[in-house]
Structure 1
Amino acid sequence: MKILRNTLPISDLYNQMKSGELTINRSYQRSQGLWPNNSRSYFIDTVLNEFPFPKVVLRQTVDLKTKKAKREIIDGQQRLTTIRDFINNKFKLTSVSKKYNGKFFDDLEPESQSTLLTYEVSIDNIITATTEEILEIFRRINSYTLPLNTSEKRHATFQGEFKWFISDLTEIMTPFFESYDVLSLKDISRMMDADLITECCQLKFEGVQNRSAKKLENIYKEYDPQFPHEEEIKNVILTSFNFIKDNFAQVFEECKVPSYMFYSLMGALIFNKYSFPHDDDQFDDLQTSNNFCGDVNQTNETLIRIFTESNEKNENGTAPEFVKASIATTHSQKNRLIRIKYILRIIQA
């Protein structure tokens, strides 16, 4: 078995598929049509913006009758058929492609068409391999994949309005998470940023809940076909997030703010400005102020003090109840409520 590694422009791959020189061997490939339109659009958007995508693996043989080389797709069927179908104007891009929303291939400017057609795809071209070796390659390609966690499974399963809404928010908020170590790069790579943002949205849907993969999945499921509250929730999340960025940067610079504490801070701000669901009796003893915060400078000082005590697990400091709720079972509903109410009293002072 011999492997040649090179690149080919999309135009060459397209023409090879069109002529039949490049085909799909259905004895080991999955059936076509597995990607919904949003996923296909996101992939084409990836190409148009010249981001990389994983290499394609081909098998090359020679037809002794015609004396011509033939190639089979070993890995990359969905990618290549999506490219072919888009060039053939079989689907238009959806709103997940912000710049090219609603466009077929023929609707693109000539420069964008050229960008797609000249995009160089990384290729592993396998020569003189037996069928058994090809099947073993295919099995090994799939066995290397790290098992999906619940966040990744959810992101892969649902392809509707809410999933792409969260995807848009991660583009805006995740650089902040990474910059201030709210989440580690490893956490972000496993889509924990999407989980954190979804839980912040959940505050407006259901109030404070314990962390539950099932409850988050239900939100994705409910708003997969349509998400009529998109603009309202986007406004709530982004205005609260921007308030944190613009007013509490000192807190994040001077002390560690882990994801569960970011959630608590967002919860307090969202409740104070926008309230939670009307049937939520979790905050009967507290009222909203219709604004985010009273004295920002004083709030910064107090947050730094209690977050520091929490990080040091200092139960003998100024906020023992808050610290206890930050040491263990940080994602339980009880401890989340304790932290959010404590921060709420601080920002209302």
Structure 2
Amino acid sequence: MNDLPIPQVFFRTKINASTQTMTREVVDGQQRLRAIIEFASGKLKLTSKSPKFKGLTYSDLELSDQEAFLSYKIPCVQLINSDNAMVLEIFARLNSYSVKVTPSELRHAEYIEPVKWAIYDAARDWKYLWNELKIVSVRESVRMKNVSLMAEFFMTLDLGFGDGGEATITKFYKNKKTEPESYFLPIRKKVDDVLEVIIDKLEEDFADTPFFDGPNFLVLFAAVAYLVYGFPDNRVTADVKEHKGKGVNWKNAIDVLAELSQELESGNNDEDADVRHAEFISASKSTTHRVSSRKPRFEYLVKEFSNYVS
């Protein structure tokens, strides 16, 4: 009902051609299936892991939600007439070669507070960014990397543009876990507004450039957000405070992004880059979640995009 995937269920399917009968045995996924069956029979209530449906049994659901539950497609793999040795081998592999959980997936499992749902819902609502524009690839979005980027958008508008990365995001979740849903609504409104104007003004010319890849898109988002709304100042904004809230000159922005995109795509060494862009190009090649990389790129975009006239 939350439109989330679940792991595949593995069956051994025994087919008897002479009697034209078929039996199935669950190889992996029995607990998942048991939970589904018990919920459907009214024996389980949903928990706060699903806030919208907390405390509800199947019969308590709206008809549309019951239909969504019943129509959910469970991914299955059938092992046709496999012998016991093969079944045991597959079971061992399934439980030995699991993929390491990402920090974003861990946060989603650990937190049940509004901070998680505000960010997660925004990432879901902005699926156009991931599915169409590929700002975070579909494959990475499956591992919730898109939620991490959305968290950075929220953090930027709430706290300012500083160090990022998964540890910083987790700290944000921890520090904001007591905040009510209402705390995040104005942040979400600003996130939506900034994303909408970026897509409206820049998608046509830059959707296939490095500026619509996650790390550069985040800096682009931060620069536009600072010029449109402003956000708390820190050492990243220390040298551009006069531009805060002054608005974006979109003609200048498009011209500058075109030049920067050409430089980034050319793969030129720093010394071969246009001297005006050299610091931006150099910073783009370092660890992109540190202030040392973010500050020069952010400053450059803010100054070049700004409507401010000294």
Aligned partners of 2:39 and 2:57 also within 8 Å: no
Structure 2 equivalent of residue 195 of structure 1: 148
State the one-letter code of the partner of 1:298.
N
State the one-letter code of the partner of 1:219.
F
Aligned-partner SS, 2:276: coil
CA shift for structure 1 position 241? 0.8
CA shift for structure 1 position 239? 1.0
Tell me the distance in 1 between the aligned counterparts of 2:186 and 2:96.
42
Aligned partners of 2:10 and 2:78 also within 8 Å: yes
Structure 2 equivalent of residue 21 of structure 1: none
Structure 2 equivalent of residue 247 of structure 1: 201
Aligned partners of 1:59 and 1:74 also within 8 Å: no
Say whether 1:216 aligns with 2:153.
no
CA RMSD of aligned residues (A): 3.8
Tell me the distance in 2 between the aligned counterparts of 1:256 and 1:191.
21
Identity across the alignment (%): 22
Aligned-partner SS, 1:248: helix
1:126-141 matched pairs, under 5 angstroms: 138-141=91-94
2:245 to 275, 290, 294: 290
- Closer, same or farther: CA 265–102 of 1 in aligned 2, 3 Å: farther
| Range with greater deviation from structure 2 (230-239 or 103-112) | 103-112
1:331 to 277, 282, 289: 289
When you count helix as a share of all residues, which structure comes out higher? 2
State the one-letter code of the partner of 2:221.
M
Aligned partners of 1:273 and 1:288 also within 8 Å: no
Tell me the distance in 2 between the aligned counterparts of 1:81 and 1:72.
14
- Closer, same or farther: CA 209–137 of 1 in aligned 2, 3 Å: same
1:167-186 matched pairs, under 5 angstroms: 167-186=120-139
Aligned partners of 2:165 and 2:289 also within 8 Å: no
Tell me the distance in 1 between the aligned counterparts of 2:70 and 2:142.
30
State the Cα deviation string for residues 126-152 of structure 1 (Å, max 9, x = none).
Answer: 99987x987765433222322223333
CA shift for structure 1 position 302? 1.8
Tell me the distance in 2 between the aligned counterparts of 1:181 and 1:126.
37
Structure 2 equivalent of residue 105 of structure 1: 58
CA shift for structure 1 position 156? 3.3
What 5-or-longer segments of structure 2 have no aligned partner?
A: 14-22
For these two proteins, the number of residue pairs brought into alignment is: 291
Say whether 1:275 aligns with 2:248.
no
Tell me the distance in 2 between the aligned counterparts of 1:283 and 1:118.
50
Structure 1 equivalent of residue 279 of structure 2: 321
CA shift for structure 1 position 347? 1.9
Aligned partners of 1:209 and 1:333 also within 8 Å: yes
Q: Normalised by the size of structure 1, how large is the TM-score?
A: 0.67
Tell me the distance in 2 between the aligned counterparts of 1:142 and 1:90.
27
Say whether 1:158 aligns with 2:111.
yes
Tell me the distance in 2 between the aligned counterparts of 1:118 and 1:253.
35
CA shift for structure 1 position 102? 8.0
CA shift for structure 1 position 55? 4.0
Structure 2 equivalent of residue 31 of structure 1: none
| Range with greater deviation from structure 2 (232-241 or 209-218) | 209-218
Tell me the distance in 2 between the aligned counterparts of 1:120 and 1:182.
28
State the one-letter code of the partner of 1:309.
E
Aligned partners of 1:57 and 1:76 also within 8 Å: no
CA shift for structure 1 position 273? 2.5
CA shift for structure 1 position 311? 3.0
Structure 1 equivalent of residue 215 of structure 2: 260
State the one-letter code of the partner of 1:154.
R
Q: Normalised by the size of structure 2, how large is the TM-score?
A: 0.75
State the Cα deviation string for residues 296-331 of structure 1 (Å, max 9, x = none).
Answer: 223212221123223323523532222222223333
- Closer, same or farther: CA 287–84 of 1 in aligned 2, 3 Å: farther
State the one-letter code of the partner of 1:234.
R
Tell me the distance in 2 between the aligned counterparts of 1:139 and 1:300.
54
State the one-letter code of the partner of 1:328.
S
State the Cα deviation string for residues 144-194 of structure 1 (Å, max 9, x = none).
Answer: 322223333333333432222222122233432443343333333333222
CA shift for structure 1 position 240? 0.8
Aligned partners of 2:39 and 2:58 also within 8 Å: no
Tell me the distance in 2 between the aligned counterparts of 1:52 and 1:265.
31
State the one-letter code of the partner of 1:91.
K
State the Cα deviation string for residues 42-65 of structure 1 (Å, max 9, x = none).
Answer: xx444xxxx8644435799xxxxx
State the one-letter code of the partner of 1:274.
Y
Tell me the distance in 1 between the aligned counterparts of 2:65 and 2:131.
32
Aligned-partner SS, 1:195: helix
Aligned-partner SS, 1:325: helix
Aligned partners of 1:315 and 1:324 also within 8 Å: no
1:334-349 matched pairs, under 5 angstroms: 334-349=292-307
State the one-letter code of the partner of 1:301.
D
Say whether 1:75 aligns with 2:7.
no
